[in-house]
């Protein structure tokens, strides 16, 4: 879980930093307090980059979770370690495909959630 902190924090920081200064000024000009500007203007505008950081974090966690099998904690990495120990390359390939499929599935689910949570006006579509 510690591996998830840097990409999430960088996504949040980059998202907040990239909010249009004119939007901040307009919110302050309407009389919003600092916390209202943060939660009602900056966070909604930063959501695309925040989700990008979360998606990256999840993929890093899935990719490195296979290492848990090295210290005997099991998981999908067990297929890789056991396959390598017995030189069963089909088992290793199967384990690698399972990890890749899980990573793709999680990324797809986060993409769907992002599509429904983020305002369509904030996404850049062709």
Q: Is the pTM of this model over 0.95?
A: no
Instruction: Tell me 124's DSSP state.
Output: -
Condensed to tens digits (0 to 9), the pLDDT of residues 73-113 reads 777 788 888 888 888 888 888 888 988 999 999 999 999 99
Which residues lie below 8 Å from residue 13, measured CB to CB, with a gap of 6+?
none
Which has the closest alpha carbon to 115: 123, 104, 107?
Answer: 123
CA distance 110 to 52: 9
Contact present, 17 and 49 (Cβ < 8 Å): no
For residue 78, what are its two tokens? 């067990």
What are the residue boundaries of the structural domains of the chain, listed by start? 2-122
Taking residues 11-21, report their average pLDDT: 93
12, pLDDT greater than 50: yes
Report phi then psi at 18, rounded to 5.
Answer: -90, 0
Q: Would you say domain 2-122 falls under CATH 1.10.1370.10?
A: no
């Amino acid at each position: 879980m510690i591996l998830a902190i840097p990409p999430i924090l960088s996504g949040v920081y980059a998202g907040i930093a990239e909010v249009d200064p004119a939007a901040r000024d307009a919110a302050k000009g309407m009389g919003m307090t600092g916390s209202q500007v943060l939660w009602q203007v900056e966070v909604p505008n930063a959501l695309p980059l925040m989700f990008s950081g979360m998606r990256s974090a999840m993929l890093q966690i899935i990719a490195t979770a296979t290492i848990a099998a090295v210290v005997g904690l099991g998981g999908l990495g067990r297929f890789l370690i056991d396959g390598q120990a017995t030189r069963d390359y089909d088992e290793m390939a199967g384990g690698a495909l399972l990890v890749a499929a899980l990573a793709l599935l999680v990324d797809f689910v986060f993409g769907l959630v992002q599509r429904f949570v983020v305002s369509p006006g904030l996404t850049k579509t062709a």
